[in-house]
Structure 1
Amino acid sequence: MKITGLETFLVAPRWLFLRIATDEGVTGWGEPLIEGRAETVRAAVHELADYLVGQDPLRIEDHWQVLTKGGFYRGGPILSSAVAGIDQALWDIAGKTYGVPVHRLLGGPVRDRVRMYAWIGGDRPSEVAELAEEQMKAGFTAVKMNASAELAPIDTPARTAEVVARVAAVREVLGDERDIAVDFHGRASTAMSRRLLPQLEPLHPLFVEEPVSPEHSGHLRSLVESTSVPLATGERLYSRWDFREVMTSGIAVAQPDLSHAGGISEVRRIAAMAETYDVTMAPHCPLGPIALAASLQIAFSVPNFLIQEQSMGIHYNQRADLLEYVMDPEPFRFQDGYAVASSRAGLGVEIDEKAVRRAAETGHRWRNPVWRGADGAFTEW
């Protein structure tokens, strides 16, 4: 079997899909993407296609090594995201070739169902209590919310109190048998995180995500030592070498993204490394159905898995939602807040190619917002 071509499709709301075709009629789908830089990743995919066309798609590990190292210059979000989508598609082809789900090729499932969480509140969180109640009624046992909108490097007592009150309102709705994850989104400085985390301790978050932006990961150890709140990070880390530096800090949860961090191959290795540090996995996935399908293959197969993000109803999905590009939504019908293991071959999701091609005629130019503080200076989104 040989690879005959790679096609990419920009589709709403902000996604990039990849289709890899072979001379035996087996096709694989992937989702190579950096949100807001989709065209740049797309160009990288097509540069890598020069090597892949004519190759055996089942030599997944060899291709991963060549694609990540064969160009001499390595790493970074664009290359690792391009490789991630290719890697997903190659695993999809492998599973379809052998007639088994990808998680079977990774050693088989270690669990029968995967706990999922739902997003509430949006970028500038509001009505979080009401939204949490809706997700609870939908069967979810955990939600995630942004802690705040813009934050000054050292913000006022009022802003601090607002964050705590917002999380407290959700805790009151959910009670003690369900979980809240709180995303700082890199919006808080180290100083603000040090102020906020102790005040959130009585509310027992499942974890606090990105308490500092990635360039300040050296401060994670001091934050870990200052609070009992489990800390999580990783959506902006792109390889096991990036994660190596934060695993030793004492984080509780690693959050690599299957569309950013080198795909299934690399995230499986990150999970194995995390296990040696007693760190659990909660893969980042506010993206489309292919990225989620790939994430679930990891979730079913790694022992140190905690919980899985998914994007149905998320605030970014303005023009399309997760299920609009799939032929059968069954793999994403969650039962009591859990995804159930499937025997479907490959990534386990059948993409509606006609819908994808139709959406790609319009495409998108999604960009993340640029925020400014009260003084007009740039502030973290």
Structure 2
Amino acid sequence: MKIVGYETFLVAPRWQFLRIDTDEGISGWGEPIVEGRAEAVQGAVAALMEYLVGADPLRIEEHWQVMAKGGFYRGGPVLSSALAGIDQALWDIKGRYHEVPVHELLGGPVRERARVYTWVHGRDNAQLVDEAKAKVEKGFTALKLNLSEALPPIPSPAQLHAAVSRVEALRGALGDGVDIALDFHGRFSTAATRQILPLLEPLLPMFVEEPVLPEFARDLRRITESTSIPIATGERLFSRWDFRDVLTTGIAVAQPDISHAGGISEVRRIAAMAEAYDVSVAPHCPLGPITLAASLQLDFAIPNFLIQEQSLGIEYGGGNALLDYLVDPDVFAFTDGHVQRPKGPGLGIEVDEDVVRAAAAEPHRWRSPVLRHDDGSFAEW
């Protein structure tokens, strides 16, 4: 079997899909994307596919090594994300060739269902609570929210207490039976994080995500040693080498993104490294259905899986965009906050190519928003 061609599709709301074709009629799908930089990843995919066309798609590890290291300059979000989407598509082809789900090729399932969480939003605490209650009524047992909008390096007491009040409102309304995860989104400085974590401890968050920007990962040990709250990070780390030093800092949860961190092949290695440090894995996934499908294949194969992010409920998602690109959306049916083990071959989904092509006829040009502080200076999104 040989790879004979490929296509990329820029589709709303901010995603990019990849289809790789073979001479035996088997095609595989992947999702190579850097949100806000889709065109750059599209170019990187084209460069990597020059090597792959004509090659045997089943030799995934050999191809991964060549694509990751053969260009001399390596790593980073664009190259690693292009590689990630290609890797997903190759695993999809291999699973379809052997007529088994990818997790069967990774050693077989270690669980029968995987827990998922959803996002909640609100302009004020009352709206936040109303949305959270609605999500819990749908069966979700874990919620995540952005704790604050843009913050100065040293927030005021009012800003800190306003952020904490959001969690207090949720905990008071939902009780202790629902997990609440908090995304700092890199908006907090190291100093601000150390200020607010003691105030949050009595509310028992499931975890605090990205308490500092990835360039300040050296400060994570100071943070993990100063709080009892589990600390999570990793969505902006792109390889096992990026995770190597972070795993030693005392974090509780690693959050590699299977569409950014080298695909199924590399995230499986990151998960194995994390297990050696008693670190759980909660894959980052505010993306499309192919990323979610690939993430779930890994979730069912690794022992240290914690919980899976998914984009239904994220404000930019445009309603049910995650499901609109699937022939059978029921593969992502969530029951009691869990999704059942996928049984279909490859990534376990069937992409509706007609819908994809129609969407790609009007390609998106999504860009990350630029936030400003009150004084007009740049603020972290």
Q: How far apart, in 1, do the equivalents of 2:122 and 2:368 lie?
A: 13
Q: How far apart, in 2, do the equivalents of 1:363 and 1:202 lie?
A: 46
Number of the residue aligned with 2:48: 48
Counting only pairs closer than 5 Å after superposition, residues 237-252 of structure 1 correspond to structure 2 as 237-252=237-252
Secondary structure of the residue aligned to 1:303 is: coil
Number of the residue aligned with 2:60: 60
- Residues 61 and 33 of structure 1, relative CA distance in 2, 3 Å threshold: same
Counting only pairs closer than 5 Å after superposition, residues 255-266 of structure 1 correspond to structure 2 as 255-266=255-266
Secondary structure of the residue aligned to 1:32 is: coil
CA RMSD of aligned residues (A): 1.2
- Counterpart amino acid of 2:163? V
Counting only pairs closer than 5 Å after superposition, residues 152-167 of structure 1 correspond to structure 2 as 152-167=152-167
- Counterpart amino acid of 1:228? S
Q: How far apart, in 1, do the equivalents of 2:122 and 2:67 lie?
A: 36
- Counterpart amino acid of 1:82? A
Question: 1:124 touches 1:149 (CA, 8 Å); kept in 2?
Answer: no
User: What TM-score comes out, normalization by structure 2 length?
Assistant: 0.98
Q: How far apart, in 2, do the equivalents of 1:26 and 1:230 lie?
A: 43
Q: How far apart, in 2, do the equivalents of 1:239 and 1:150 lie?
A: 28
- Structure 1 residue 125 displacement after superposition: 8.2
2:233 pairs with 1:233: yes
Unaligned runs of 5+ in 1: none
After the TM superposition, which parts of structure 1 deviate over 6 Å for at least 4 consecutive aligned residues? 122-126
- Residues 320 and 21 of structure 1, relative CA distance in 2, 3 Å threshold: same
Aligned residue pairs, count: 381
Q: How far apart, in 2, do the equivalents of 1:123 and 1:59 lie?
A: 50
Instruction: State which drifts further: 152-161 or 313-322.
Output: 313-322
Number of the residue aligned with 2:304: 304
Q: How far apart, in 2, do the equivalents of 1:278 and 1:207 lie?
A: 15
Number of the residue aligned with 2:137: 137
Counting only pairs closer than 5 Å after superposition, residues 91-130 of structure 1 correspond to structure 2 as 91-121=91-121, 127-130=127-130
Number of the residue aligned with 1:171: 171
Secondary structure of the residue aligned to 2:176 is: coil
Q: Give CA-to-partner distance per residue, 1:130-189, whole Å, 9 cap, x none.
A: 111011000000000000001010010001001110011111222112100000000000
Secondary structure of the residue aligned to 2:215 is: helix
Question: 1:125 touches 1:149 (CA, 8 Å); kept in 2?
Answer: no
- Structure 1 residue 122 displacement after superposition: 6.6
Q: Give CA-to-partner distance per residue, 1:345-364, whole Å, 9 cap, x none.
A: 00001000000000000010
Q: How far apart, in 1, do the equivalents of 2:124 and 2:150 lie?
A: 8
Number of the residue aligned with 2:368: 368
Number of the residue aligned with 1:85: 85
- Residues 93 and 302 of structure 1, relative CA distance in 2, 3 Å threshold: same
Q: How far apart, in 1, do the equivalents of 2:302 and 2:175 lie?
A: 29
Number of the residue aligned with 2:188: 188
Instruction: Provide the identity percentage.
Output: 64
Secondary structure of the residue aligned to 1:285 is: coil
- Structure 1 residue 319 displacement after superposition: 7.5
2:75 pairs with 1:75: yes
User: What TM-score comes out, normalization by structure 1 length?
Assistant: 0.98
Question: 1:186 touches 1:213 (CA, 8 Å); kept in 2?
Answer: yes
Q: How far apart, in 2, do the equivalents of 1:5 and 1:104 lie?
A: 27
Secondary structure of the residue aligned to 1:175 is: helix
